Chain A
């Protein structure tokens, strides 16, 4: 069973549109991280959220951690072709030595 479910699994949008990716779980996490992965490369960290209800902005990307620390969302405003990639959320459970990665969302932004 997958601890973190992401939706949608695939997303194809036109340049300039807005989008939201969701990362949901029934478990509580100490913190949650978002990564972006380009084809043939390893994932790269975008942001870490640690407080319930926290909102972090990274240029056109807005990340939110749910109040109960069980879910998170990533909103992209005015998507650009450079945003294309696989977006992965990853949760840190208290006492664990490893992250739990989500199922991934493949985003394609069409010029």
Chain B
């Protein structure tokens, strides 16, 4: 069966510090991978998606970046965090033409 992991689960970082959030998927090959950010109790904002290794599409301009160094690994990064980067970050995967999303447990990021 497929599983998706995210870490860390929670993170508190000072403004201006770097960020690296990792997402890995097990039990499937060549998934589509997604990074979302969610403000408290609200909908999901798509940040990046990837249909293959090294292929990244960015949905919104920001100081975040994403990379996919391996088929089932998706990394969200920043060189310098802003206060506005605080939020709940969710990674998700889907397979083939189906856009049904399977979400990870999320990372709660607080920038102080």
Asked if A111 lies at the interface with its beta carbon under 8 angstroms from chain B, I say: no
Residues B106 and A40 in contact, CB atoms below 8 Å apart: yes
Residues A104 and B42 in contact, CB atoms below 8 Å apart: yes
> In B13-69, which residues have CB < 8 Å from any A CB?
32, 34, 36, 41-46, 49, 51, 57, 59
Asked if B99 lies at the interface with its beta carbon under 8 angstroms from chain A, I say: yes
Interface of A is mostly: strand
Residue of B nearest to A96 (CB): B99
Asked if A1 lies at the interface with its beta carbon under 8 angstroms from chain B, I say: no
Interface residues on B, range: 20 to 34
Residues B42 and A42 in contact, CB atoms below 8 Å apart: no
Q: How many residues of A contact B (CB 8 A)?
A: 24
Docked pose: A102 CA to B38 CA in angstroms: 12
B15 to A: closest C-beta gap in Å: 24
Residues B44 and A97 in contact, CB atoms below 8 Å apart: no
Asked if A66 lies at the interface with its beta carbon under 8 angstroms from chain B, I say: no
Known: A41-B103, A98-B34, A99-B46. 8 other contacts (CB 8 A): A35-B101, A42-B92, A97-B57, A101-B44, A102-B43, A103-B43, A104-B42, A104-B43
Binding site for B on A (CB under 8 A): 2, 6, 31, 33, 35, 40-45, 48, 86, 88, 90, 92, 97-99, 101-104, 106
